[in-house]
Structure 1
Amino acid sequence: MTPFLPFALPEIGEEEINEVLDSLRSGWLTTGPKTKRFEEEFGAFIGAGTEAIAVNSATAGLHLAMEAIGVGPGDEVITTPYTFTATAEVVRYLGADPVFVDIDPGTFNIDPAKLEAAITPRSKAIVPVHFAGLACDMEAILAVARRHGLKVVEDAAHALPATCGGKLVGSLGSDATVYSFYATKTITTGEGGMVVTRDPAIAKRCRVMRLHGISRDAFDRYTSDKPSWHYEVVAPGCKYNMTDIAASIGIHQLKKAWPFQEQRSSMAARYDAALSDLPVDLPPHPAPGETHAWHLYVLRLKETAPVSRNRFIELMAANGIGCSVHFIPLHLHPYWRDRYGFQPEDFPYAHASYQRSVSLPMYTRMTEADQQRVVAAVREILA
């Protein structure tokens, strides 16, 4: 019997395993030297002058970054409904309200042309989401933000490594950028995330707030010449620190970020070539010279497709292949719909894309034979 091909699997090598074992043997299990090393190497990866703050999830990172830029009760934060709920829920953690702006149907990222219409006296920040690993038009977004005195925090959960204007996401001039290292992402630590910024004040605030608002983290307290028992609580913080066990995985995953991207790009090209004659819209590609992280490969079924999107997923599962949907737009979910009185047609492009979208398996552990199996199943259903 042919084994089930899941939607996503992480690729973990002996290097990661050995580094984790080294951490277990060292006695440093929570935030310690491996986390510090991962932060330093990640900052260097993004570019000189970048400070990196490791956290236990991208959700935590978004929360810390928005708190650090001053989002608070009564504020508004502009973002897209075409994202996972974490992007908007952290705004509510801070007593603020998300304001949704529809996507550009050509990129499925937030539409910069619609931003200014969403700005009010309560607006504090813009949170663009680099959907599927394709960078937003950050030049346009940052221009709007600067005209109106707004902060920008990039949700780059999908976007390592991706570029805009020839520069890595994370080095584009926003106030902060947040990455995810969840098990399905382009690199993983199991659970985890990273905040990057070039603003020392934001970095300092994130470091304090990620561990209960304590002025010194555990690693500093137990490796400095000051008494290890002494610390000061300077704010009501959170428990968002990354462990050395997770960082041990991340150290070696980061080294593979570019090779992984090259593999994903090749896989996307193979899907494009094999599926282009079917009743589907292929995913958007970056401009020449830019890099797409290819976290996701999202097909959109045309009206002429012989089956609905939901039926397509059922038939793929019957063929032993897992698929997913990215995303159910936030304005369709009960909490966001009921709190803000949204209707499906309020964000027509996000809604229309969702109704037709399906994400195919694409991860570096897949073999070419695995991908051919996916292609054969898609063609059997749609051809």
Structure 2
Amino acid sequence: MTLTLLCLPGDGIGPEIVASTQAVVRSACARAGVAVELPEAEIGFAALAHEGTTIPEAVIDRAGAADGVILGPVSHNAYPPVAEGGRNPSGVLRRALELYANIRPARSHPAVPRPVTAKVDMVVVRENLEGFYADRNMHMGPGEFMPTPDVALAIRRITRENSRRIARSAFELAARRGGRVAVIHKANVLRVSDGLFLEEARAVAADHPEVEVEEILIDAAAAHFVRDPARFDVVLATNMYGDILSDLAAELAGGLGLGASLNHGATHAVAQAQHGSAPDIAGQDRANPGALIGSAAMLLDHLGQPRAAALIRDALETALAAPETRTADLGGALGTAAFTHTLTCLIEDAAT
């Protein structure tokens, strides 16, 4: 069987780091004996120029038909209004493919400089389809509106179904890891919405007596991330809380350049780095492709290809061990192309 992973380069540094990821995935799959195809399709500004929209319907259909998707970063903040074709490809794919879980690991490497000395090894499990995010919490229209020119309102949606299934993802993951889940909430203030999320998390916890559960307020959790990151194993959170805390965790572990991420649902999965499109360094061979490459390893694992995934992860671990094989954002000396070449050589050496 041949794996088909649709590659969507996106904007800014997206084409560079997607090309790097394709090279590393091809190398790992070849060494693992996995047949893989990596077709591309345009999204972002390139698609807007050619198709009048930042994510054409045909691309959404191709994403749904593929075994998985490798999604480059996009500059959605700079897009025109939705009515003029400026849709956020990431949000569109999450809704269209029902990617309810966003899995964001953060693990420090002993050789990589970081702002804390404590070891970081946690996974933020983030609900992906609702919450305060205005592009994914309404059947029709955005979740933000202005009844008068001087008043802006935002709607937050929390449902039992989505709360329950993201909680299941977190507890199942914890059972395979360190056996601990921290449930993040602000139910002392948002009693109804966070209260509902917390209620469902407790119900799922009752089905997993082997997992230790801690309920932590979002503000306290942010403080504990900095003071004692080793306290955390699996962190369960609603959309916005999870987005914020996962970026904090990535920085504590060494930087967003290593922030891998997998979006998945029951039948589809999308690899996507946590960071943005960094247009200020696009085309300069300065981008760190490590986050997207790590995301691709997560995708391969999710698709039942652990050997190929392990080859990528091991190559990343080896490359991070010395400044001469790290990118500049991690205190190293390599650019995008040289770092990619280093990883492919490490994979080939490991296989032999």
Same fold (TM over 0.5): no
Larger radius of gyration: 1
Q: TM-score range by the shorter chain?
A: under 0.3
Which is richer in helix? 2
**TM-score (normalised: structure 1):** 0.25
Q: Which structure has more strand as a fraction of its residues?
A: 2
